[in-house]
């Protein structure tokens, strides 16, 4: 990545400060060309998943008319969170490069409990999924 890309990445991250949001910026690159840029907009949009990585991926999806972003590299100012990592993997992005590691000592506030429910509706849902994927194959 050339220095112009890094300068644009830092400039993009600063846009978040206008909304009192964490200054994180992201750039998606394909064939050494910037496909999309994004920054955190959670405070502005009041949306849980408006992270820089998600915003840049959504813009690239629209521009490339694909939800797969093969052969693309993602540059981010901060190491992606677990949510963003899942989206990045699902988008099939080739490489992720970040400038700052997450703070390992950061306190985790989320205490969400996940529970698997076993009943007839779960069986129906499983059957619907099997039918869908059988048609694809």
> Is the pLDDT at 2 greater than 80, yes or no?
no
Statement: the pTM of the whole predicted model exceeds 0.85: no
> Is the pLDDT at 99 greater than 70, yes or no?
yes
> Is the pLDDT at 1 greater than 70, yes or no?
no
Task: Report phi then psi at 30, rounded to 5.
Answer: -135, 130
Q: Where are the beta strands (DSSP E) in the chain?
A: 25-30, 33-39, 72-78, 95-100
Q: pLDDT tens for residues 42-85?
A: 999 999 999 999 999 999 999 999 999 999 999 999 999 999 99
Please say whether the dihedral angle defined by the alpha carbons of residues 80, 49, 7 and 2, taken in this order, is positive or negative: positive
User: What does the mean pLDDT of the chain come to?
Assistant: 92
Instruction: For residues 37 and 94, give the distance between their C-alpha atoms in angstroms, rounded to a whole number.
Output: 17
The pLDDT of residue 117 = 80
Q: pLDDT tens for residues 5-41?
A: 889 999 999 999 999 999 999 999 999 999 999 999 9
What amino acid positions are annotated as catalytic residues?
53
Q: What percent of the chain has pLDDT over 70?
A: 99
Which residues, other chains included, contact 81 with Cβ-Cβ below 8 Å and sequence gap of 6+?
51, 102
Q: What percent of the chain has pLDDT over 90?
A: 74
The pLDDT of residue 76 = 96
> Is the pLDDT at 109 greater than 80, yes or no?
no
């Amino acid at each position: 990545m050339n220095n112009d890309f890094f300068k644009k990445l830092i400039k993009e991250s600063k846009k978040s400060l206008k909304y009192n949001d964490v200054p994180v910026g992201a750039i998606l690159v394909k064939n050494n060309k910037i496909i999309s840029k994004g920054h955190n907009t959670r405070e502005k949009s009041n949306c849980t998943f408006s992270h820089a990585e998600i915003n840049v991926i959504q813009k690239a999806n629209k521009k490339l008319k694909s939800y797969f972003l093969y052969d693309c590299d993602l540059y981010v100012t901060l190491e992606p969170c677990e949510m963003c990592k899942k989206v990045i993997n699902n988008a099939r992005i080739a490489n992720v490069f970040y400038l700052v590691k997450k703070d390992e000592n950061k306190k985790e506030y989320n205490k969400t409990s996940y529970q698997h429910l076993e009943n007839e509706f779960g069986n129906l849902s499983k059957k619907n999924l099997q039918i869908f994927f059988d048609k694809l194959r």
